[in-house]
Chains A and B, each alone.
Chain A
Amino acid sequence: MRKGGNGGGSLITVELPNALCSYTEQNPSLVLDEPCKTVGDALAALGRKSPGALDRIMDERGDVRRHVNLFVNGENVRFLDGLSTAVPNGATIFVLAAVSGG
Chain B
Amino acid sequence: MAKATVRKTSKPARKTSKPAARGSSKVQEALLLVGTMKGAFVLRSDKSRKKWKIEGPHFRGEAVYALLHDSRGDRPRTFAATNSMHWGPTLRTSNDNGATWSEPGPQTVRFPADSGRALAQIWQIAPGRATQPNVFYCGVEPAALFESRDGGANWQPNQGLLNHEHQPKWQPGGGGLCLHTIVLDPDNPRRMLVAMSTGGVYRSEDGGKSWRARNSGVRAQFMPEEHRYPEFGQCVHKVVHHPSRPGRLFLQNHWGLYRSDDWGDNWKDIANGVPSDFGFAMQMHPHDPDTVYIVPIEADVFRATPEAKLRVYRTRNAGASWQPLTKGLPQSGAYENVLRDALTADSFDSAGIYFGTRSGKLYGSSDEGASWTEIAAALPPIVCVKAGTAGAA
- Interface positions of A (Cβ within 8 A of B): 1, 19-20, 22-23, 51-52, 55-57, 59-61, 63, 65, 67-68, 97-98, 100-102
Contact partner, A22, options B103, B111, B116, B117, Cβ 8 Å: B103
B333 at the interface (CB under 8 A from A): no
Contact B106 A61, beta carbon cutoff 8 Å: no
B393 at the interface (CB under 8 A from A): no
With A59-B119, A102-B37 known as contacts, the answer to whether A20 contacts B87 (CB < 8 A) is yes
User: Which 3 pairs, one residue from A and one from B, show the smallest C-beta to C-beta distance?
Assistant: A59-B118, A56-B87, A51-B106
User: Which chain B residues lie closer than 8 Å to A55 at the CB level?
Assistant: 88, 106-107, 110
Contact A102 B107, beta carbon cutoff 8 Å: no
Complex: how many Å from CA A22 to CA B101? Answer: 13
Across the two chains, which residue of chain B brings its CB closest to A19?
A: B87
User: Which chain A residues lie closer than 8 Å to B113 at the CB level?
Assistant: 1, 60-61
With A20-B87, A97-B86 known as contacts, the answer to whether A52 contacts B105 (CB < 8 A) is yes
- Interface positions of B (Cβ within 8 A of A): 37, 84-88, 103-107, 110-111, 113, 116-119
Across the two chains, which residue of chain B brings its CB closest to A20?
A: B87
Nearest Cβ on chain A to B245's Cβ, whole angstroms: 40
Contact A100 B107, beta carbon cutoff 8 Å: no
Nearest Cβ on chain A to B150's Cβ, whole angstroms: 19
Contact A101 B85, beta carbon cutoff 8 Å: yes
Contact A59 B88, beta carbon cutoff 8 Å: yes
Complex: how many Å from CA A10 to CA B117? Answer: 33
Across the two chains, which residue of chain A brings its CB closest to B85?
A: A67
Contact partner, A98, options B86, B116, B118, Cβ 8 Å: B86
Nearest Cβ on chain B to A32's Cβ, whole angstroms: 18
Interface centre among A1, A63, A65, A98 (most CB of B within 10 A): A65
With A23-B105, A52-B105 known as contacts, the answer to whether A100 contacts B110 (CB < 8 A) is no
A to B CB contacts below 8 Å, 15 in the list: A22-B103, A22-B104, A51-B105, A52-B107, A55-B110, A56-B88, A57-B87, A59-B118, A59-B119, A60-B117, A61-B116, A65-B87, A97-B86, A101-B85, A102-B37
Across the two chains, which residue of chain A brings its CB closest to B87?
A: A56
Across the two chains, which residue of chain A brings its CB closest to B107?
A: A55
A67-B85, A68-B87 are known; give 9 further A-B pairs, CB within 8 A: A52-B105, A52-B106, A55-B88, A55-B106, A56-B84, A60-B107, A60-B118, A97-B86, A100-B85
Complex: how many Å from CA A55 to CA B107? Answer: 6
Across the two chains, which residue of chain B brings its CB closest to A63?
A: B118
User: Which chain B residues lie closer than 8 Å to A60 at the CB level?
Assistant: 107, 110-111, 113, 117-119
User: Which chain B residues lie closer than 8 Å to A63 at the CB level?
Assistant: 118
Nearest Cβ on chain A to B358's Cβ, whole angstroms: 13
Nearest Cβ on chain B to A42's Cβ, whole angstroms: 18
Across the two chains, which residue of chain B brings its CB closest to A50?
A: B106
Across the two chains, which residue of chain A brings its CB closest to B381?
A: A102
Nearest Cβ on chain A to B254's Cβ, whole angstroms: 24
User: Which chain A residues lie closer than 8 Å to B86 at the CB level?
Assistant: 19, 65, 67-68, 97-98, 100
User: Which chain B residues lie closer than 8 Å to A102 at the CB level?
Assistant: 37, 85
Complex: how many Å from CA A56 to CA B105? Answer: 10
User: Which chain B residues lie closer than 8 Å to A23 at the CB level?
Assistant: 104-105
Contact A61 B85, beta carbon cutoff 8 Å: no
Complex: how many Å from CA A1 to CA B113? Answer: 7
